[in-house]
């Protein structure tokens, strides 16, 4: 998901379409129908990477689950745009150990691979493990008017999430940022969301919250998303505090800290391709 340019900010569009009941409908046998709520900021035909990331995370959780284990890290590769269309989700075990399992998955559409993923499922840490994490982050702000990104498609993922930015920031504000967000609709119709799927639904928004590069003059797009959770998030509201680094003759990197109401629970990392249009 890319931020709007700080060079020229037109009047933001206003979403008008009613929200679907969920991001996806389960058709059985690993096949899912994508609803318009999955659409990303660049148009109604391609998805924001958050919902399909969560969809494959859901498949990892349901694949041969083991008591006392949890998904601790997911890395997603984005070889091509995910269409707002029917998706096939497949996962398998690459390595099965007594304490750690490496899982692998893919999403295809129309015979094309549109998302690759790997995940580590590890045993839960013992009860006497010390609590080691950063201090609590920003408090949840009071309700805010709907947030928009200038000149982009709003009747999809952006509208399907409720956003509350830290004071003075928003999608059109350049530089590091912080935003709390929660889903307005579930991931899959008729099914409960999980802490992992909620985190993955938000994770791809990391560098849009840390908007710092002008995507109008340059091509700026993330090629991957890594979510690492040292504990499972609690509650519907999650906060990303994010910043972007970039260098000439290099690339860019967006790094974010994930918080819930109790504080620090994980990290998000994205590699950003920066090129001439």
Q: What pLDDT band is residue 221 in, cutting at 50, 70 and 90?
A: confident
Give CA–CA dist 18/2, Å, rounded: 24
Contacts of 36 (CB under 8 A, 6+ apart): 17, 20, 44, 84, 155, 156
pLDDT digits (tens, 9 = 90+) for 58-80: 999 999 999 999 999 999 999 99
Q: What pLDDT band is residue 101 in, cutting at 50, 70 and 90?
A: very high
Task: Indicate the DSSP class of residue 54.
Answer: H
Taking 3-state DSSP, the helix, strand and coil percentages for the chain, each rounded to the nearest 5, stand at: 10, 40, 50
Chain position carrying tokens 């505090």: 241
Q: What pLDDT band is residue 191 in, cutting at 50, 70 and 90?
A: very high
pLDDT digits (tens, 9 = 90+) for 36-50: 999 998 899 999 999
- Average pLDDT estimate for 170-191: 94
- Identify the sign of the CA torsion 47, 101, 256, 181: positive
Q: What pLDDT is stored for residue 10 in this prediction?
A: 34
pTM value? Answer: 0.92
Give CA–CA dist 246/57, Å, rounded: 29
pLDDT top residue among 115 and 3: 115
Least confident segment among 56-70, 92-106, 213-227, 242-256: 213-227
Beta 31-34 vs 69-77: how paired, if at all?
A: unpaired
Percent of the chain surpassing pLDDT 70: 91
pLDDT top residue among 2 and 152: 152
Residue ranges of domains in the chain:
24-123+138-276
- Average pLDDT estimate for 164-186: 90
Give CA–CA dist 152/32, Å, rounded: 26
Q: What pLDDT is stored for residue 170 in this prediction?
A: 86
pLDDT digits (tens, 9 = 90+) for 102-147: 999 999 999 999 999 999 999 999 999 999 988 888 999 999 988 8
Contacts of 97 (CB under 8 A, 6+ apart): none
CATH of 24-123+138-276, one of 2.40.160.210, 3.30.420.40, 3.40.50.300, 2.60.40.10: 2.40.160.210
CB-CB contact of 125 with 149 (8 Å): no
């Amino acid at each position: 998901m890319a931020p709007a340019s700080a060079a020229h900010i037109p009047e933001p569009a206003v979403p008008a379409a009613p929200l679907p009941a969920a991001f996806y409908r389960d058709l059985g046998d690993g096949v899912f129908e994508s609803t318009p709520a999955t659409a990303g900021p660049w148009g109604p035909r391609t998805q924001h990477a958050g919902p399909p990331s969560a969809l494959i995370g859901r498949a990892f959780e349901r694949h041969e689950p083991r008591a006392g284990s949890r998904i601790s890290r997911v890395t997603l590769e984005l070889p091509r745009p995910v269409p707002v269309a029917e998706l096939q989700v497949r996962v398998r075990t690459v390595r099965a150990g007594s304490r750690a399992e490496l899982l692998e998955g893919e999403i295809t559409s129309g015979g094309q691979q549109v998302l690759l993923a790997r995940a580590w499922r590890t045993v839960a840490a013992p009860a006497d493990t010390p609590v080691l994490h950063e201090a609590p982050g920003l408090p949840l702000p009071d309700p805010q008017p709907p947030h928009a990104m200038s000149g982009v498609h709003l009747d999809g993922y952006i509208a399907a999430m409720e956003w509350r930015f830290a004071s003075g920031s928003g999608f059109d504000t350049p530089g590091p940022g912080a935003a709390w967000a929660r889903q307005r609709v579930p991931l899959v119709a008729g099914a409960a969301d999980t802490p992992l799927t909620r985190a993955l639904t938000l994770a791809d928004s990391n560098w849009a919250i840390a908007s710092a590069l002008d995507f109008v003059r340059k091509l700026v797009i993330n090629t991957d998303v890594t979510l690492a959770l040292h504990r499972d998030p609690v509650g519907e509201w999650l906060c990303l505090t994010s910043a972007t680094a970039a260098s000439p003759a290099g690339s860019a990197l967006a790094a974010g800290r994930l918080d819930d109401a109790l504080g620090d629970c994980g990290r998000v990392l994205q590699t950003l391709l920066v090129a001439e249009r």
